[in-house]
Structure 1
Amino acid sequence: MTDTQTAQIESEAPAATHAAETPEALIARLAKAGRAAQAQLARMTTAQKGAALIAAAEALRAAETDILAANDKDMAAGAERGLSGALLDRLKLDTKRLAGIADAVAQVAALPDPVGQVIDASSRPNGLALSRVRVPIGLIGIIYESRPNVTADAAALCLASGNAALLRGGTEAVHSNRAIMAAFQRGLAKAGVPAEAVQLIPTQDRAAVGAMLTAQGLIDMIVPRGGKSLVERVQNDARVPVLAHLDGICHTYLHASADVAMARSIVLNAKLRRTGICGSMETLLIDAAFPAAQAVVADLLDAGCEIRGDARARALDPRILPASDADWDTEYLDAILSVAIVDGLDAALAHIDAHSSRHTDAIVTSDDAVAEEFLTRVDSAIVMVNASSQFADGGEFGLGAEIGIATGRLHARGPVALEGLTTYKWLVRGTGQTRP
């Protein structure tokens, strides 16, 4: 029996065994098992968790043939359903990408363990010693779409931070997710970690998502990772705290002082390196005083990028199409870009304020004062100077794998890795004090 067949049996067996279960009963059963496993995880040492992750990474490498065969099924089904090129790119695994997934799991094992870290400490005049210490959040539910790498990334990050994970992947990647999870759990089992520490929901029934969102007291936090409609549904329906990852309407502003060669290089990379990731530039703002606007848009057009522009942008090249009002608020995730000409920094900032999703926004400039003003005034999770927005990634920030990029303002913001998956508790040590 192949690893892929084993993965399918392991993932489908609970559904067959509990065929009469309602979605609510299924989620409650899995969540209770996850919470029991999390209680064991919380007592594990950094070395024990690290050894489990190394074993999981080795199991992923060993299962390469079967994981890629499972992914071939998903790719064929996606092509038949007419998924866009960008979505198929997100879905596709090959030897290099799978090696990257395994490497990311191993890298998480080498990261500093946030659990038990003392955030701060103080003593009161009455002799009480106070400290705040990082602790796991508990059981984290993660709902995601077509990226199978999220299965391993999320499982690794949750485990390393002492949390259990309950994962619900998208139908597009169902075979890939099952094969990855089966390999990951085999690795954990070799290291003595209960399989229930990371679980993949064994059904694609959308009602299971609704049951996750209302599982108060069982699931401690929900992380949605996908398109705008998914995130909106989660935020609207959840009765469990949500760590939101909204769409990536990322801007790059070419200031009048921008180095031309640098600007041309950054713009091409920010848009076209990988168009289907959330850090891909979706709107380019060009200062009216920037001297090489025509060259920048020609680079993009010649590389096969469709450009939709305002009236002044369209004057740069006859190949530029007119932009609609909706274009400024669209995450294309494809080789499509909206372009506007702006009159100075204030106009650029006004456009970003009106249309940014608060994910990642960047400026290219040689003026240090302008750069600092941009950093101060742009209210996004990630703000960049003279760099491609494609660097908006936990791995590129030295955080290892990431569970998503949070665009809200509470709990965690930007790439969410180990520290973002912890909360804290107060420890108070006394010597017999009573309150008067």
Structure 2
Amino acid sequence: MSSAATRPAGPDDLWSVDEHLDDILATVRPLEPIELQLLDAQGCVLVENVTVPVSLPPFDNSSMDGYAVRVADVVGASEEFPAVLEVVGDVAAGAADPVRVGPGQAARIMTGAPLPPGAETVVPVEWTDGGLGEGPASGMRARSLAPEGAEGQVHVYRPAEARAHVRAEGSDVRAGELALEAGTVLGAPQIALLAAIGRGTVRVRPRPRVVVLSTGSELVQPGEELAPGQIYDSNSFALTAAARDAGAIAYRVGAVADDAETLRTTIEDQLIRADLLVTTGGVSVGAYDVVKEALSSVGDEDEAGSGVEFRRLAMQPGKPQGFGTVGPDHTPLLALPGNPVSSYVSFELFVRPAIRALMGLTGLHRPRTRATLKADAALRSPRGRRQFLRGRYADGEVTPVGGAGSHLIAALAKADALIVVPEDTESVEPGGEVEVVLLG
């Protein structure tokens, strides 16, 4: 069981938001590290410092297509008085034994090719005639007309300073330097760096697998026809998308009918692919709230320490909540309320931090800031409840969006912030300062 077992809880007891969150984070542990191929590690958190085995780039190379030359041989070169150099060969990218450039000589060089011995700088092909003797070259056209390896001359029309257009060995990172720190989330740039320094695999904490399911016999899948008394299931879509946004691999099961045995069987079937289970609906005191009934006996009853506790929190929306562990592996389960706004706010406050804790991250929460309330009337909030209202934030101001109703999905879709009204505050006047959770 979670640490909630040590906290006295009567039927009328209210948990604070912080107490509930602390209990969740005391139970959830980071996933064990594994070795993954680079692309499989995208979005995962690095668990080791990665040092550079070979400097990047590993050798001096050209950043342009052109000619590798000695500086002294192109001093004073101009269109009227070009430097005329003997072309001694080609240096292509990947060349292992490039030609040597001596006095009065040049080597045709491609982007990424190693700077040949004797050469001190690179003259872009646009500053030459491309070996055609016809005035300044037009880049690729000139090279296509000059066969590779052809001996001859090149006219250079501009001087070049030492090591111009040369990428120096180790100019990106040097051997022995720290490439990436443990705790780094691996995105495309980080994976590019790992590949560039020769790492084919990396040790990470895997992205947690989150299974989301909603409950309610009234729920219908989008795209189907609605019968009287039915509504479309939006919660499972919202929470699955939110779990993916938090960094998880999320699986949407969809709506499960109000039948305890069906729900229990569904949850038990999903345990094989879940590091975290999230349900929505059926956690209040209604006659058909089957989640409590089903979760009271998920898995073997002799699983010591397992169980889900249902609580009332001093918050609005999202007062009814459930949390615990289920199954032989004590998989964490968060049971959220069914109203769409309550469900989403509960996800942001409790599920998102749990996902990021499983990933091994230190920054678990959305950023927060202080903002000036921009509104036509005062915000009202019940004493003793921490209220979370939808809002839009810009330039240090936040404007409420929609009302306080927990069913207002359209207002939620327009919001990019949550306005936090503390438990001991019953009113916030326009122009007052409020705390804001930034969702974007």
Is the shorter-chain TM-score for this pair beyond 0.5, marking a shared fold?
A: no
More strand by share: 2
More helix by share: 1
- Choose between structure 1 and 2 for higher RCO, CA contacts under 8 A separated by at least 6 residues: 1
Larger radius of gyration: 2
TM-score of the pair, normalised by structure 2:
0.25
